[in-house]
């Protein structure tokens, strides 16, 4: 499911079983397949750090969320892919870059 990342929150706590939980709550805006939703739907999804990888999250970028069967048969996020964004070089900018004063 393709969504726009509008925010995220770092998560780091110890659960009831004593296991350390590390990850992120992703706040997403997505198109909805539900007939009772008009416009975009806002979702919150928890993802483990290893699903996000070492790439920093960028707000307002498109990400692809893939779901699979999780604990007790419930849907869970199994993959997060962030669309790559080309970073312009100084040669391709439509304006002159600001030069640092000495």
Would you kindly state where each structural domain of the chain is located, as residue ranges?
2-92
CATH number for the domain whose boundaries are 2-92: 2.40.50
The tokens for 38 are: 């008009």
Give percent of the chain above pLDDT 90.
Answer: 9
Q: For residues 25 and 4, what is the distance between their CA atoms, to the nearest angstrom?
A: 14
Residue range 10-38: average pLDDT?
A: 86
Residue ranges of alpha helices (H) inside the chain are 49-52
pTM of the predicted protein model: 0.65
Nearest to 15 by CA among 67, 56, 71: 71
Residues 6+ apart with CB under 8 A from 46: 11, 23, 24, 25, 26, 77
Does residue 27 surpass a pLDDT of 80?
Answer: yes
Q: How many CB atoms lie within 10 A of CB 73?
A: 7
pLDDT of residue 65: 76
Does residue 1 surpass a pLDDT of 50?
Answer: yes
Write 27-36 long-range contacts (CB < 8 A, 24+).
28/3, 28/4, 28/63, 28/65, 29/3, 29/4, 30/1, 30/2, 30/3, 30/4, 31/2
């Amino acid at each position: 499911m393709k969504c726009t990342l509008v925010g995220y929150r770092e998560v780091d706590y110890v659960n009831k079983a004593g296991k350390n939980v590390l990850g992120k709550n992703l706040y997403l805006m997505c198109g909805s397949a539900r007939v009772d939703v008009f416009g975009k739907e806002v979702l919150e999804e928890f993802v483990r750090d290893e699903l996000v990888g070492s790439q920093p999250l960028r707000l307002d970028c498109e990400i692809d969320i893939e779901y699979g069967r999780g604990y007790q048969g419930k849907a869970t996020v199994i993959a997060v892919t962030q669309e790559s964004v080309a970073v312009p070089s100084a040669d391709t900018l439509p304006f002159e870059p600001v030069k640092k004063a000495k």
